[in-house]
């Protein structure tokens, strides 16, 4: 009621006069925002829309009638009837004065400055006719840029706008940059002038992105080119599932720089280290440029496309004619485009007659699929970035989000900085956990117990949303009754967390006006995934946090197109049209494709891939942009199984560990060379555009699949990826209406399911016993629990990130992270090499890093290495193993 | 909200002053007094009196002693700092009380004061500063003052809360809590016409109104006292904090009640260690008595006070920088709006007032807005404390009604020029203010009037300079101060003041041109217009007023390459008049660089190559043989 009253009191728009024009604006907008929206350019040096108004540079001063003096347009909100003059003689003179002051001590090294052509000081000096400074130039000497692999710091060029200082603090919540000295002697530098790598820098380059001059830039390289020399295309990042919008700068067929528009895209100009500095793999020396065929001596030798495809076609035909289409399977990597993924599954289903099509991250979808029937479409599918941004409380479960999704993580950091409750359930003291108001450091694998404890406390303390339960959920009484034998203290004890902390977490979550759960890779694998996701779903339902802004369950996904491939039917049980179990879907697909699908043998998924090869039922595997050797658990077994295949076809940009075993290797384009679309974790479909041509004879994935289909007898006539999306938009209900034209300027959201039926609880009690057994038990012989997970500098199993110098120079190989107490118990110091041995004797040698984020008894090893494949130590579908260490 | 108020407990001293000592010695223990040696003097009195064996030396509230008692107490600044250490001697004999103030007392003089005056009853005239018996040359200093903010300073023992309570301490807060609504408090302050004494002169009642009306997201508001007094030569707040800390607490508590704050921060510069020590003592005592803390005097008003020491940055006197500093950030002013009243400390509505402003608040509450408004001038009501410094005879702290003319302050209270040199200018308002010439001395001290001159009333610093001071050098000095204290956030202040300083240095070095003067004025006006905070927008004031009122002296520097005051070394030459020189060698002995040579009883000569123009010889020569040109 009071909100309505206030809304009535707040005008919907204000009218002001700007340089004589009457302008309408929204209340709360600044003069600067309004001016820019109507094309009046007020100069700024210290302003960045990502940051709080700062008002330091004085370039945006404008005259406001009636004000005592000039006002900073960046920080002054418009008022009804305000009369603003942005370019009076007095103001222009003042701006020129400021520029003269700044230029006096600015190096005149524009010819060699990285920022030349993209420098505000340069622009404004020209615009405001600053051709001399009355007190004479005093350019300082430009020093060395420091030895960070990606970020160069030229302090002499700094104009002290403070943007780097603020972006590192306000957006990143780190603080690598700060002020030194005072007044005229002020400088911006790292604390104690330490190297960036020693002050907590995550190499995101946000400082580079915001520096208005050439004081913080990317390191110069031989590939460098200036703003006016490069071509720019807008594309989408191919690493994680955040879907960051990128601007790729290319020069002479090389990608020389990546930036992001502050005004557009979910990332609003923010990028992580991979997005900004991780594209070096595009021009890696070991790019595949020609198809390879294994010859009779067992060597992979270059050949022509014609030869490779002909040979491939013949071998597939021979194989399927005897063993049937279902002897073939396809496995896609998570950065395969919607178009290519769609064609892969269509190839398998309609040309070869196989349902064995899946993607590398299938395991992480098990809980989502299992809970689908409970109305997850409403609770999860419609959850967008804006919901994370506006949620009044956030609960992160198994989500080491700064490592897995560094840009989405900025929303969580923003929530913490603005004082919203952020609760982290994770055995590790993740970066977010170390900043969040509440961290429930559960025992490994006991996330669900903590959620059940919270759930039970919500009910006991009368914090449940009665209205929501009655109106939106099916049979809440039965569910609540099923909680009767749950005991908050017992569940908290099982989780290994403090009872009071759990209660506080439950209260914070339940009392927030809107609360959202983020489930991460740490809990999305194995049979317990269903249990954790179920408990999260129930918690959201009991507290009424579903189906409205700022609520729901957000599933983190592991790759750029994880969601898209699921939507495209790159799953044995799904079609682009929907679930295979749905008769209507099947009919629609058969009509749409003109193929008979109902007789196809039931397909098998990722977990069955290796057993099927071992059984001999699977004889050929088509791998597109994936590296199962490193991605799947049980390295030796995977290796042996792949070697048994009669035909292994790998389509990739590099000779991956899997490709080395292949019979045919098809050279593919990478993201920066590809055309198509990605659908990010939250269902935003965005364009991918080629900035540079693929090297040699490498081709875009979709085109290779088409060629292959044609060789196998299909009459496909897609001349460009746009044709494929047109077909997708016709057959996939969620993608209806999408076209490249629609996607030209910005992404479009896929339609979210809005179920009319009531939401169903997930029965908690049934799963609780099974889930607990999911985690490997440690014992005296193997006393440490090895876990793996995302590492922000790399992605997945690292085929691309390892080859990007901007990333590999920061972290070339993983090291085994170990708790300090454990390290001293094992007599280990930083840098020692150890042999890590699993129960079955599989072992790896790796250096150790002492870490403050791991609990005692847990060690962590990243997954991105081919030299130290953690898969060697893992069994089953949980990314954990009991291990012992020996110093070597 | 007409619910019955809880019965409040009226604050009162716990320990009564149980005896009227026959001898009472009050020694000024303000920073000025301490620097002049008053601690030693105090100790000398204690020891000297004890040694006599005539009196029992006691603390006034420890009482219980029979027979003849003497007590020695320290007070805050007694005002006439030029005569520090000041010692008041009160004698009560056969129903007759006498009071004498001695100046520039040394431990060596104490014995004589004890034996001749205290024991012998003979007042020692040559050391007297003030007495009831007859007029002294210092009387004008005392007589023309009216002490409201300083009402207890130099009178009570600031380390004894009972002294304050006995002097009506915390009665204003009691009155507020027991009978006034927050609105009524704000109305009272508004009607009094009180304006911020920190420099800007913003109406205090209005400021409180803004903060009271502001909505806080979680109901939290803050009340800050700005004790980061940093102007060179200003020590008004220092004296109040040292001499009457409880008055500041009481003013803060009243203000906090008025705006709805329950937490206060008292920000004091760390360079005031004595003030900090006394504030800590006072804060502990006030908390123990329930005058600060939860449910003050049994009311439902709670007020918690935190002391925050500044880290030495002048700019932290700027309110937004001060709040940054409290938050633990680098002290840099931030953009306004939003004003602190809307979003201040930790993003909550915040009111910030200066020490002197708050010290006078309890007086206004007890004596009424009208009593305050009856004093003063046009739009500047009440009294204002000024710190008189420089070349004036009676330097010190004086509180006078607003509207008194500058001449009355400087020549009346200050007693005119030291050594009867010619008055040149008075720098009003420290480095943010300006220097005013003789011709403007008849202006009343009033915010609006002084602002029109280009100077400001400011926080109350008045530095008087005479014929021996160079106006260019003075402007250079003040600018170098602000230039060094610039935080560096905005270019006009960070770089503009540096460029201005360079020009002034050039002029002082004899390398200036006439064009430089226009250039200087031009830069100064841009810096004023374009700077982010008050530091930058006022930094050019000393330079602009100096050029405005003393352009001839600037022109002399650039055209004739002459510094009439003989201050600018490059423009000054010292020569020895061979006729007048007696060869006494005094100048040669005092020269720090052995630039003066000559045989005894023969005329001496200054080696111009070696001379560093320090003027030592000029000061030393008794025969006017050293000439400065």
Mean predicted confidence (pLDDT) in A359-370: 90
Percent of chain B with pLDDT over 90: 81
Contacts of A57 in chain B (CB under 8 A): 490-491
Residue window 504-563, chain B: list those with CB within 8 Å of chain A.
519, 523, 526, 529-532, 537
Contacts of A162 in chain B (CB under 8 A): 489
Instruction: Round to whole Å and give the CA distance between B491 and A183.
Output: 9
Mean predicted confidence (pLDDT) in A9-18: 85
Contacts of B502 in chain A (CB under 8 A): 135
A53 vs B335, B492, B493: nearest CB: B335
Note whether B377 contacts A: Cβ–Cβ < 8 A.
no
CATH number at residue B588: 3.30.70.20
Contacts of A93 in chain B (CB under 8 A): 526
Beta carbons of A334 and A565 less than 8 angstroms apart: yes
Q: Where are the beta strands (DSSP E) in A506-582?
A: 515-519, 552-555, 574-575, 578-579
**Same domain assignment for residues B612 and B509:** no
Contacts of A58 in chain B (CB under 8 A): 490-492, 530-532
Taking an 8 Å cut-off on Cβ atoms, the answer to whether A69 and B537 are in contact is: yes
Contacts of A56 in chain B (CB under 8 A): 489-490, 532
Instruction: Round to whole Å and give the CA distance between A77 and A92.
Output: 21
Contacts of B523 in chain A (CB under 8 A): 97
CATH number at residue B432: 3.10.20.600
Examine residue B155 and state whether it is found in any structural domain, yes or no.
no
**Same domain assignment for residues B456 and B514:** no
For chains A and B, what is the number of CB pairs under 8 angstroms? 95
Chain B residue with Cα closest to A52: B335
Look at residue A14 and give its three-state secondary structure: strand
Rg of chain B, C-alpha, whole Å: 27
Long-range contacts of A720-725 (CB under 8 A, 24+ apart): A720/A675, A721/A337, A721/A339, A721/A675, A721/A676, A721/A677, A722/A675, A724/A338, A724/A339, A724/A342, A724/A343, A724/A676, A725/A338, A725/A339, A725/A676, A725/A677
Examine residue B9 and state whether it is found in any structural domain, yes or no.
no
Identify the domain boundary among B372, B393, B425: B372
Mean predicted confidence (pLDDT) in A422-435: 96
Q: With helix as H, strand as E and coil as C, how does B335-363 read?
A: CCCCCCCCCCHHHCCEEEEEHHHHHHHHH
C-alpha torsion sign, points A448, A364, A606, A842: negative
Distance (Å) from the C-alpha of residue A22 to the closest C-alpha of chain B? 24
Taking an 8 Å cut-off on Cβ atoms, the answer to whether A184 and B494 are in contact is: yes
**Same domain assignment for residues B62 and B32:** yes
CATH number at residue B518: 1.20.1440.230
Quick one: chain A helix, strand, coil %, rounded to 5? 35, 20, 45
Examine residue B220 and state whether it is found in any structural domain, yes or no.
yes
Task: Supply the pLDDT for residue B306.
Answer: 97
Note whether B342 contacts A: Cβ–Cβ < 8 A.
no
Closest of B586, B569, B571 to residue B625, by C-alpha = B586
B526 vs A97, A102, A182: nearest CB: A97
Q: Which of B310, B313, B324, B491 would you mutate first to test chain A, the one with the most A CBs within 10 A?
A: B491
Taking an 8 Å cut-off on Cβ atoms, the answer to whether A102 and B334 are in contact is: no
Residue B285 is part of which domain span? Answer: 161-372
Examine residue B239 and state whether it is found in any structural domain, yes or no.
yes
Look at residue A152 and give its three-state secondary structure: strand
Beta carbons of A759 and A468 less than 8 angstroms apart: no
DSSP state of A449: H
pLDDT digits 0-9 by tens, A52-66:
999 999 999 999 999
A72 vs B332, B335, B519: nearest CB: B335
Distance (Å) from the C-alpha of residue B338 to the closest C-alpha of chain A? 8
Q: Is the pLDDT of residue B55 over 90?
A: no
Mean predicted confidence (pLDDT) in B171-194: 97
Rg of chain A, C-alpha, whole Å: 29
Q: How confident is the model at residue B3 (pLDDT cuts 50, 70, 90)?
A: very low
Q: What is the dihedral of CA B550, B554, B560, B566, to 10 degrees?
A: 80
CATH number at residue B84: 3.40.30.10
**Same domain assignment for residues B360 and B228:** yes
pLDDT digits 0-9 by tens, B125-174:
999 999 988 889 899 999 889 999 999 999 999 999 999 999 999 999 99
- Range A5-27 burial, b when 16+ CB lie within 10 A, else e: eeeeeeeeebebebeeeebebee
pLDDT digits 0-9 by tens, A260-317:
999 999 999 999 999 999 999 999 999 999 999 999 999 999 999 999 999 999 999 9
pLDDT digits 0-9 by tens, A631-647:
998 899 999 999 999 99
Examine residue B145 and state whether it is found in any structural domain, yes or no.
no
B330 vs A53, A75, A179: nearest CB: A179
Q: How confident is the model at residue A670 (pLDDT cuts 50, 70, 90)?
A: very high
Examine residue B6 and state whether it is found in any structural domain, yes or no.
no
Task: Supply the pLDDT for residue A382.
Answer: 83
Q: How confident is the model at residue B7 (pLDDT cuts 50, 70, 90)?
A: confident
Contacts of A96 in chain B (CB under 8 A): none
Exposed/middle/buried for residue A295 (C-beta within 10 Å: 0-12, 13-18, 19+): exposed
Mean predicted confidence (pLDDT) in B373-378: 93
Examine residue B268 and state whether it is found in any structural domain, yes or no.
yes
Contacts of A98 in chain B (CB under 8 A): 491-492, 530
Identify the domain boundary among B348, B372, B396: B372
The residue assigned the tokens 């989000």 is A401
Q: How confident is the model at residue B63 (pLDDT cuts 50, 70, 90)?
A: low
Chain A residue with Cα closest to B501: A184
DSSP state of A888: -
Q: Which of A46, A69, A97, A170 would you mutate first to test chain B, the one with the most B CBs within 10 A?
A: A97
Instruction: Round to whole Å and give the CA distance between B499 and A590.
Output: 80
Q: How confident is the model at residue A134 (pLDDT cuts 50, 70, 90)?
A: confident
Chain B residue with Cα closest to A163: B489
A54 vs B335, B491, B494: nearest CB: B335
Instruction: Round to whole Å and give the CA distance between B142 and A861.
Output: 80
Beta carbons of B481 and B431 less than 8 angstroms apart: yes
Q: Which of A101, A103, A128, A181 would you mutate first to test chain B, the one with the most B CBs within 10 A?
A: A101
Instruction: Round to whole Å and give the CA distance between A742 and A749.
Output: 11
**Same domain assignment for residues B360 and B486:** no
C-alpha torsion sign, points A788, A791, A797, A802: negative
Long-range contacts of A5-14 (CB under 8 A, 24+ apart): A11/A80, A14/A78, A14/A79, A14/A80, A14/A82
Structural domains counted in chain B: 5
Contacts of B488 in chain A (CB under 8 A): 160, 179, 181-186
Identify the domain boundary among B560, B589, B616: B560
Examine residue B322 and state whether it is found in any structural domain, yes or no.
yes
Distance (Å) from the C-alpha of residue A228 to the closest C-alpha of chain B? 29
Instruction: Round to whole Å and give the CA distance between A339 and A251.
Output: 27
Distance (Å) from the C-alpha of residue A169 to the closest C-alpha of chain B? 12
Q: Which of A52, A58, A68, A89 would you mutate first to test chain B, the one with the most B CBs within 10 A?
A: A58
Say which residues have a Cβ less than 8 Å from residue A437's Cβ, sequence separation at least 6. Answer: A416, A421, A422, A423, A508
From residue A204, how far is each of A196, A259, A263, A559 by CA, in Å?
A: 12, 11, 19, 19
**Same domain assignment for residues B389 and B425:** yes
**Same domain assignment for residues B240 and B338:** yes
Mean predicted confidence (pLDDT) in A513-525: 93
**Same domain assignment for residues B266 and B362:** yes
CATH number at residue B272: 3.40.50.11540
**Same domain assignment for residues B598 and B462:** no
Note whether B339 contacts A: Cβ–Cβ < 8 A.
no
Taking an 8 Å cut-off on Cβ atoms, the answer to whether A75 and B491 are in contact is: no
Taking an 8 Å cut-off on Cβ atoms, the answer to whether B335 and A186 are in contact is: no
B526 vs A54, A94, A105: nearest CB: A94
Q: Is the pTM of this model over 0.80?
A: yes
Q: Is the pLDDT of residue A3 over 70?
A: no
**Same domain assignment for residues B227 and B339:** yes
The residue assigned the tokens 């002029």 is B507
B532 vs A55, A94, A160: nearest CB: A55
Contacts of B531 in chain A (CB under 8 A): 58
**Same domain assignment for residues B183 and B59:** no
On the question of a cis peptide bond just before residue A298, with omega within 30 degrees of 0, the verdict is no
Q: Is the pLDDT of residue B2 over 50?
A: no
- The residues that bridge with B352 in the sheet, in sequence order, are B224
Contacts of A136 in chain B (CB under 8 A): none
pLDDT digits 0-9 by tens, A746-782:
899 888 766 567 888 888 755 555 555 567 889 999 9
**Same domain assignment for residues B194 and B338:** yes
Note whether B337 contacts A: Cβ–Cβ < 8 A.
yes
Residue A474: its H or E element: strand A473-474
Distance (Å) from the C-alpha of residue A114 to the closest C-alpha of chain B? 24
Q: Which of A184, A213, A417 would you mutate first to test chain B, the one with the most B CBs within 10 A?
A: A184
Chain A residue with Cα closest to B498: A184
């Amino acid at each position: 009621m009071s909100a309505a009253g206030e809304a009535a009191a707040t005008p919907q728009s204000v009218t002001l006069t700007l340089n004589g024009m009457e302008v309408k604006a929204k209340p709360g907008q600044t003069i600067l925002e309004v001016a820019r929206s109507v094309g009046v350019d007020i100069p700024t040096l210290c302003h960045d829309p990502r940051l709080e108004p700062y008002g330091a540079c004085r370039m945006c001063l404008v005259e406001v009638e009636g004000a005592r003096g000039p006002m900073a347009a960046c920080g002054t909100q418009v008022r009804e009837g305000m009369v603003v003059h942005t370019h009076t003689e007095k103001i222009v003179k003042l701006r020129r004065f400021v520029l003269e002051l700044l230029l006096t001590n600015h190096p005149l090294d524009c010819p060699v400055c990285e920022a030349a052509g993209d420098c505000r000081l340069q622009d404004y000096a020209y615009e405001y006719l600053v051709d001399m400074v009355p007190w004479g130039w005093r350019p300082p000497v430009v020093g060395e840029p420091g030895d960070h692999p990606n970020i160069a710091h030229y302090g002499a060029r700094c104009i002290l706008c403070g943007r780097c200082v603020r972006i590192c603090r306000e957006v990143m919540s780190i603080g690598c940059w700060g002020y030194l000295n005072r007044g005229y002697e002020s400088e911006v530098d790292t604390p104690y002038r330490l190297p960036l790598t020693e002050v907590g820098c995550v190499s995101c380059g946000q400082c580079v992105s915001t520096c208005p001059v050439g004081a913080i830039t990317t390191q110069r390289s031989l590939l460098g080119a200036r703003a006016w020399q490069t071509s720019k295309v807008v594309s989408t990042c191919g690493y994680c599932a955040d879907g960051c919008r990128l601007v790729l700068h290319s020069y002479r067929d090389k990608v020389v720089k990546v930036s992001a528009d502050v005004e557009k895209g979910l990332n609003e100009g923010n990028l992580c280290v991979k997005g900004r500095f991780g594209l070096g793999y595009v021009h890696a020396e070991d790019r595949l440029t020609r198809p390879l065929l294994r010859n009779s001596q067992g060597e992979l030798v270059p050949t022509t496309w014609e030869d490779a495809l002909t040979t491939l076609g013949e071998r597939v035909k021979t194989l399927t004619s005897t063993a049937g289409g279902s002897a073939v399977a396809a496995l896609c990597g998570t950065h395969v485009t919607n178009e290519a993924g769609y064609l892969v599954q269509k190839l398998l289903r309609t040309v070869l007659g196989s349902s064995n099509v899946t993607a590398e991250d299938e395991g992480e979808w098990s809980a989502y699929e299992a809970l689908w029937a409970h109305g997850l479409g409403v609770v999860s599918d419609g959850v967008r970035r804006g919901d994370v941004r506006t949620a009044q409380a956030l609960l992160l479960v198994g989500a080491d989000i700064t490592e897995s999704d560094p840009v989405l993580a900025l929303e969580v950091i923003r929530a913490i900085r603005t004082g919203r409750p952020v609760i982290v359930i994770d055995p590790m003291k993740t970066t977010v956990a170390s900043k969040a108001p509440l961290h429930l450091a559960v025992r490994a694998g006991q996330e669900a117990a903590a959620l059940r404890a919270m759930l039970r406390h919500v009910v006991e303390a009368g914090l449940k949303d009665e209205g929501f339960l009655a109106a939106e959920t099916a049979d809440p009484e039965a569910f609540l009754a099923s909680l009767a034998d749950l005991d908050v203290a017992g569940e908290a004890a099982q989780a290994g967390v403090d009872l009071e902390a759990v209660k506080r977490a439950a209260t914070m979550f339940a009392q927030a006006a809107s609360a959202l759960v983020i489930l991460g890779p740490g809990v999305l694998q194995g049979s317990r995934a269903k249990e954790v996701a179920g408990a999260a779903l129930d918690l959201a339902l009991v507290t009424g946090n579903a189906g409205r802004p700022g609520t729901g369950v957000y599933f983190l996904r592991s790759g750029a197109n994880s969601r898209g491939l699921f939507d495209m039917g790159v799953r044995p049980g799904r079609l682009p049209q929907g679930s295979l179990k749905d008769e209507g879907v099947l009919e629609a697909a058969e009509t749409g494709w003109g193929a008979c699908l109902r007789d196809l043998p039931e397909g098998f998924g990722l977990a069955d891939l290796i057993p099927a090869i071992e059984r001999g039922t699977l004889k050929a595997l088509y791998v597109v942009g994936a590296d199962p050797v490193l991605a799947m658990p049980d390295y030796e077994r995977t290796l042996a199984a792949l070697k048994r295949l009669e035909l292994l076809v790998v389509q990739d940009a590099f000779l991956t560990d899997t490709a080395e075993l292949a019979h045919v290797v098809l050279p593919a384009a990478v993201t920066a060379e590809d055309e198509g679309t990605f659908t990010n974790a939250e269902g935003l479909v965005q364009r991918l555009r080629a900035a540079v041509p693929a090297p040699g004879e490498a081709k875009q994935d979709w085109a290779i699949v088409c060629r292959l289909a044609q060789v196998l007898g299909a009459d496909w006539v897609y001349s460009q990826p746009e044709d494929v999306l047109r077909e997708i938009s016709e057959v996939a209900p969620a993608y209806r209406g999408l076209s490249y034209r629609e996607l030209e300027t910005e992404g479009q959201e896929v339609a979210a399911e809005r179920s009319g039926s009531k939401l169903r609880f997930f029965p908690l009690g049934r799963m609780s016993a099974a889930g607990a057994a999911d985690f490997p038990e440690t014992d005296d012989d193997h006393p440490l629990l090895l876990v793996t997970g995302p590492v922000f500098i790399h992605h997945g199993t690292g085929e691309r990130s390892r080859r990007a110098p901007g990333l590999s120079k920061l972290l070339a190989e993983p090291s085994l992270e170990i708790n300090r107490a454990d390290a001293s118990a094992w007599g280990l110091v930083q840098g020692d090499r150890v042999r890590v041995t699993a129960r079955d004797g599989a072992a790896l040698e790796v250096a150790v890093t002492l870490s403050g984020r791991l609990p005692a008894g847990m060690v962590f090893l990243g997954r991105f290495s081919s030299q130290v494949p953690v898969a060697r130590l893992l069994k089953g579908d949980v990314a954990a193993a009991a291990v012992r260490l020996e110093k070597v | 909200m007409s619910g019955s108020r809880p019965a409040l407990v009226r604050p009162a001293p716990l320990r009564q002053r149980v005896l009227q000592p026959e001898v009472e010695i009050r020694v000024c223990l303000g920073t000025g007094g301490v620097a002049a040696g008053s601690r030693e003097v105090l100790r000398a009195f204690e020891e000297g009196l004890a040694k006599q064996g005539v009196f029992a030396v006691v603390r006034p509230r420890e009482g219980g002693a029979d027979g003849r008692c003497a007590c020695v107490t320290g007070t805050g600044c007694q005002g006439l700092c030029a005569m520090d250490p000041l010692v008041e001697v009160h004698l009560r004999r056969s129903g007759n009380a006498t009071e004498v103030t001695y100046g520039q007392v040394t431990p060596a003089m104490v014995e004589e004061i004890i034996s001749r005056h205290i024991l012998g009853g003979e007042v020692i005239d040559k050391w007297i500063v003030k007495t009831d018996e007859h007029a002294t040359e210092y009387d004008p200093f005392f007589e023309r003052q009216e002490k409201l903010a300083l009402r207890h300073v130099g009178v009570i023992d600031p380390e004894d809360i009972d002294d304050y309570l006995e002097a009506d301490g915390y009665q204003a807060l009691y009155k507020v809590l027991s009978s006034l609504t927050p609105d009524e408090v704000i109305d009272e302050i508004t009607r009094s016409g009180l304006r911020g004494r920190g420099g800007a002169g913003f109406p205090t009642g209005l400021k409180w109104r803004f903060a009271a009306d502001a909505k806080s997201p979680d109901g939290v508001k803050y009340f800050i006292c700005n004790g980061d007094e940093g102007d060179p030569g200003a020590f008004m707040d220092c004296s109040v904090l040292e001499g009457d800390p409880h008055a500041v607490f009481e003013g803060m508590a009243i203000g906090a009640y008025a705006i709805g704050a329950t937490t206060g921060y008292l920000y004091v510069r760390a360079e005031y260690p004595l003030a900090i020590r006394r504030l800590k003592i006072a804060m502990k005592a006030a908390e123990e008595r329930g005058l600060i803390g939860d449910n003050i005097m049994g009311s439902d008003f709670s007020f918690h006070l935190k002391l925050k020491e500044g880290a030495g940055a002048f700019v932290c006197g700027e309110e937004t920088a001060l709040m940054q500093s409290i938050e633990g950030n680098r002290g840099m002013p931030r953009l306004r709006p939003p004003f602190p009243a809307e979003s201040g400390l930790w993003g909550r509505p915040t009111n910030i007032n200066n020490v002197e402003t708050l010290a006078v608040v309890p007086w206004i509450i007890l004596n009424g807005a009208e009593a305050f408004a009856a004093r003063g001038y046009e739009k500047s009501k009440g009294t204002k404390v000024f710190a008189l410094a420089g070349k004036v005879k009676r330097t010190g702290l004086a509180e006078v009604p607003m509207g008194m003319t500058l001449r009355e302050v400087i020549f009346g209270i200050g007693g005119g020029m030291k050594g009867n040199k010619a008055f040149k200018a008075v720098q009003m308002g420290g480095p943010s203010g300006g220097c005013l010439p003789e011709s403007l001395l008849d202006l009343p001290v009033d915010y609006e009037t002084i602002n029109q001159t280009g100077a400001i009333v400011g926080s109350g610093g008045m530095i008087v300079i005479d014929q021996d001071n160079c106006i260019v050098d003075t402007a250079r000095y003040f600018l170098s101060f602000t230039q060094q204290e610039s935080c560096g956030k905005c270019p006009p202040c960070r770089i503009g003041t540096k460029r201005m300083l360079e020009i002034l240095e050039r002029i002082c070095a004899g390398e200036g041109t006439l064009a430089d003067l226009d250039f200087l004025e031009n830069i100064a006006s841009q810096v004023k217009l374009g700077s982010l905070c008050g530091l930058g927008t006022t930094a050019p004031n000393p330079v602009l007023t100096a050029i405005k009122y003393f352009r001839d002296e600037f022109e002399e520097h650039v055209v004739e390459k002459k510094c009439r005051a003989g201050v600018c070394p490059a423009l000054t030459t010292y020569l020895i008049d061979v006729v007048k020189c007696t060869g006494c060698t005094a100048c040669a002995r005092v020269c720090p660089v052995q630039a003066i040579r000559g045989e005894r009883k023969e005329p001496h000569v200054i080696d111009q190559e070696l001379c560093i123009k320090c003027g030592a010889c000029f000061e030393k020569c008794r025969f006017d043989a050293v000439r400065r040109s």
